[in-house]
Chain A
Amino acid sequence: MKRIWLLGLIFTLVIGVLAVGQVKTLYWNLATEPPTLDPNIATDTTSIQVIQALFLGLTDFDDLTMEVVPELATHWEASEDGLTWTFYMRDDVIWTDGTPVTAHQVVYSVKRTLDPATGSSYAYVLWVIEGAQAFNNDEGGTADGVGVKALDDYTVEFTLTQPAGYFPSIAGMWICRPLPHTVVEEYGDAWVNVENIVTNGAYELGEWIHEDHLLLYKSATYYDLAKVNIDQIYCYMIEEASTAMTLYEAGDLDSTAPPLEDMDRVKADPVLSEELHIAPDLCTYYYGFNNEKAPFDNPLVRKAFASAIDRQSLVDYVLKGGQSPAQTFTCPGIFGHVDGVAEGIGYPYDPETAQAFLAEAGYPNGEGFPEVTLMHNTSEGHSKIAQFIGQSFMDTLNVQVNIVNQEWKVYLATCREDAPQIYRMGWCADYPDANNWVNEVFNSKSGSNYANYINPTYDAIVERAARETDPEVRLALYQIAETLMCDIDAGIVPIYFYTIVNLTKPYVVRTFAPLGGEHWEQWDILPH
């Protein structure tokens, strides 16, 4: 059967070539080997990028509005109590082997993600589904006890443990994407190999030469084939940014992320500057204070340090990528984002206020203040930022700051076990809802709360916001949560919101996907 479809694909490609005159190929850099193409176990942006092209989700995100939009599901509805979500699927989507994509395959995928034997890192995101945690944690639960079922071939129903307004975002995540269960069962872990894989997305896997390149062909079986303009995507796996930049300038790559050291040249170059795109990314860079470690157990000290960071100068002179100064944690583009700069939440750079806070804390002009450890994971970029901010602390507050760096995993272990007084960390969205931020990171029960930020009121607010279904109420709750964490308690100090800095050839008509997973099927390549 697969051969028939392969012949069909070749026929389509030949016809396409004859009709248009040339195959439209996008030369892309994945920047690394995708660790896996199995949607149930993927965790990284590279894998998710390719999975996005190969597998369809129940829902997807609009690149511009960041709203959840239909993909496999044409529409969905929640019960009045917000506990039952029903997704109605298209009936015209087929796999590359010609079999239909059905609700049963969504159920299979969700249960496979939750199966402890799969070892899915992201399974915890699905714990909101009834019976999911008990099954995943091997606490007496079974696959049959998980609250997901196919009502018919094209209708799937989820039962949740609590109302979750953000659930349509989760239903579209890669961990829930329907899988060709017969293929997965037949080949086991090797089902994603090029000779076995069966997909349902706009592209299908043509070649996967490990560490070298991956070739995707437009899928002849894709349900919306007429709208796909680019015939094939040739994905390099070039890790060295300067090599990718050289290939881009030599015309061998259609898009790349310019290295930081080339940014001044790119901005000054009349051609490259026209090809430079700076778009918002859904990530926040922040410094955490260990709220339990003296003298940072004193909110006044934390406020003093938060007020001593000149974010705009950091962006202009160190980062150079058009990042936005951040005074709140949840970044723009996420439901529940609060504009701290506009609304006066958080602490802008104000040396006098910083000194006043420190004096009020009992350290006028920094006198008697102990040496501070500012730690980051080893990286040239983080080092530059730490030196800039550390110097800013010393100049503004007259304190001694020791900048220390550790190898990434050692650093994570240090943060987890006993975070230093000030530590660097970042957070990127898994789905565009503030629950993924203020609740999943800084709830006192969260494993990522290295700051030991503990405020029962804050916990109660973010947990209530997770359960609440009224968007207006949720927004109000997230505003209170951000005010508590970034202003009243100053538990952490957000520094900047990331941007995607990218060079793209002028003949590529593209969008930018802030959540990762570029929508290649919506792009085009103009004659050039």
Chain B
Amino acid sequence: MLQFVIRRILWAIPIVLVVSSITFMLMHSVPGGPFDAEKALPQAIIDNLNAKYHLDDPLWKQYVDYMWGFIRFDLGPSISYRSRTVNDILAQQWPVTALLGLASFGVAICLGIPLGVISAIKQNSLIDYGSMWISMLGLSIPNMAMGPLLIWIFALNLKWFPVATWGSPIHVVLPAITLGTAFMAMFARITRASMLQVVREEYIQTARAKGVREIWVMLKHTLRNALIPVMTIAGPAFAGMMTGSMIVERIFAIPGIGKYYVTSVGNRDYPVIMATTLVFALAVVVMNMLVDISYGILDPRIRYN
């Protein structure tokens, strides 16, 4: 297993290089620069700013300098937020997003998997139809509608939760449900489909023939094997949740990193574009590695070589 982990970590190096070079080329090939504004600046001023941020260096040098900084965990200054470095932005905003992502993932897993299990056990019953209807609803309502809807019901009318902003555990509830609902629905549907497939396997029939109680057949034998496809999508989904959602963070005024994924592109804030993209790429790499490790735990027949 250690060999497997080391191999996967080494694999991350070419992935980071490819992602960073493609991102670097794309962001520099898009028209417009960080200092374009409605009030056009004189060229001499733009020259000063380019010199300050080393944007007057050849592109290859800018790329090499950036990657050298990246290796040393120095992600450079933000061009848009001029009193902050990208390290500052990540250190201050990312933990907020990570906490929200963790809570959302909790909502998605803790509600989605039981919903899928119940649906599978009670296939074609009213409970099954009800659960799947709820999950379909969760998938169909976009965050930009779900957020205001929850605010209207639970904050404005019932006054159980704050309307928005951040700062205490109670502030996490509505945004976590908003962000987690779609994933919950996805987990529920995949768990149900996977359970129904596994339940037809011969070893399940064997377990039943041996007189194992139905609840144990479902939880120990069926669910465990049915979780493999769920884990496959849970990894990238978790990476997505941990790196932020601009929409949910915006609706609930959460000081997370999500908005930087979008605004950095609009602002042509090159160091922030690079950092957010690489953080996301690394999160996906790490999560996929954890997913692969989890396969072996769920099904010992799977080997790490």
Contacts and interface: CB of A to CB of B under 8 A. Distances in A.
A211 B91 CA distance: 12
Interface in B147-199: 148, 151, 155-156, 163-167
B251 A243 contact: yes
A426 interface: yes
Query: Counting chain B CB atoms within 10 Å of each CB, which of A36, A123, A409 scores highest?
Result: A409
Interface in A406-464: 407-414, 416, 425-427, 430, 446-448
Contacts of A240: 250-251, 253
A210 B45 contact: no
A12 interface: no
Interface stretch (A215-223, A246-254, A357-365): A246-254
Contacts of B49: 119, 121
A35 B268 CA distance: 14
Query: Counting chain A CB atoms within 10 Å of each CB, which of B36, B51, B83 scores highest?
Result: B83
Given A192-B83, A448-B39, A239 B31 contact: no
A409 B41 contact: no
B42 interface: yes
Given A210-B93, A413-B31, A447 B40 contact: yes
A238 B164 contact: yes
A212 interface: yes
B140 interface: no
Contact of A36 (B42, B81, B96, B259): B81
B277 interface: no
Q: How large is the interface on B (under 10, 10 to 19, 20 to 34, 35 or more residues)?
A: 35 or more
B148 A446 contact: no
A507 interface: no
Contacts of A137: 44, 47-48
A124 B36 contact: no
B82 A38 contact: yes
A33 interface: yes
B164 A247 contact: yes
B116 interface: no
A426 B38 contact: yes
Given A246-B151, A413-B36, A121 B255 contact: no
A283 to B, nearest CB: 10
B30 A410 contact: yes
Interface in B41-90: 41-45, 47-49, 51-53, 77, 80-84, 88-89
Contact of A136 (B44, B82, B88, B268): B44
A237 interface: yes
A38 B81 CA distance: 11
Contact of A35 (B38, B82, B155, B253): B82
A192 B267 CA distance: 22
A116 B82 contact: no
B42 A448 contact: no
Contacts of A121: 35, 37, 41, 45, 49
A138 B48 CA distance: 9
Given A119-B48, A136-B44, A41 B268 contact: no
Contacts of A526: none
Contact of B255 (A41, A189, A210, A242): A210
A411 B36 CA distance: 10
B240 interface: no
B261 interface: no
Contact of B83 (A36, A120, A209, A448): A36
Interface string A181-202: 0000000011011000000000
Given A124-B44, A416-B40, A409 B253 contact: no
B84 A412 contact: no
A499 interface: no
Nearest to A250: B163
Contact of B41 (A118, A124, A212, A238): A124
B229 interface: no
Given A116-B48, A121-B35, A212-B166, A409 B266 contact: yes
Query: Counting chain B CB atoms within 10 Å of each CB, which of A239, A240, A410, A426 scores highest?
Result: A240
A410 B32 contact: yes
A138 B155 CA distance: 57
A416 to B, nearest CB: 7
Contacts of A18: none
Nearest to B255: A211
Contacts of A427: 38-39
B31 A414 contact: yes
Interface string B240-254: 000000000011110
A257 B270 CA distance: 31
Contacts of A116: 48, 51
Query: Counting chain A CB atoms within 10 Å of each CB, which of B45, B84, B148, B259 scores highest?
Result: B45
Contacts of A375: none
Nearest to A190: B83
B250 A446 contact: no
B21 to A, nearest CB: 22
B292 to A, nearest CB: 35
Interface string A149-174: 00000000000000000000000000
A19 interface: no
A116 B81 CA distance: 19
Contacts of B101: none
A181 B256 CA distance: 33
Contact of B156 (A213, A250, A410): A250
A35 B83 contact: yes
A446 B40 contact: yes
Interface string A119-141: 11101100000000100111000
B236 interface: no
Interface in A372-431: 407-414, 416, 425-427, 430
A35 B40 CA distance: 19
B205 interface: no
Given A119-B49, A210-B255, A243-B164, A189 B83 contact: yes
A117 interface: yes
Contact of A447 (B42, B48, B84): B42
A243 B42 contact: no
Contacts of B77: 189
Contacts of A212: 165-167, 255
A469 interface: no
A237 to B, nearest CB: 7
B259 A407 contact: no
Contact of A412 (B37, B52, B164, B259): B37
Given A124-B45, A410-B32, A413-B31, A38 B163 contact: no
A498 interface: no
Contact of B48 (A136, A237, A409): A136
Interface string A337-365: 00000000000000000000000000000
Query: Shortest 10 CB-CB distances between A and B: which pairs?
Result: A409-B32, A211-B255, A447-B40, A119-B52, A212-B255, A413-B31, A137-B44, A36-B83, A238-B253, A412-B36
Given A243-B251, A252-B165, 8 more contacts: A33-B81, A41-B82, A117-B52, A118-B52, A211-B93, A211-B259, A213-B165, A413-B32
Interface of A: 33, 35-38, 41, 43, 116-121, 123-124, 133, 136-138, 189-190, 192-193, 209-213, 236-240, 242-243, 246-247, 250, 252, 407-414, 416, 425-427, 430, 446-448
14 contacts: A33-B81, A36-B83, A38-B83, A121-B41, A121-B45, A124-B44, A238-B164, A243-B251, A246-B156, A250-B163, A407-B32, A409-B36, A413-B36, A447-B43
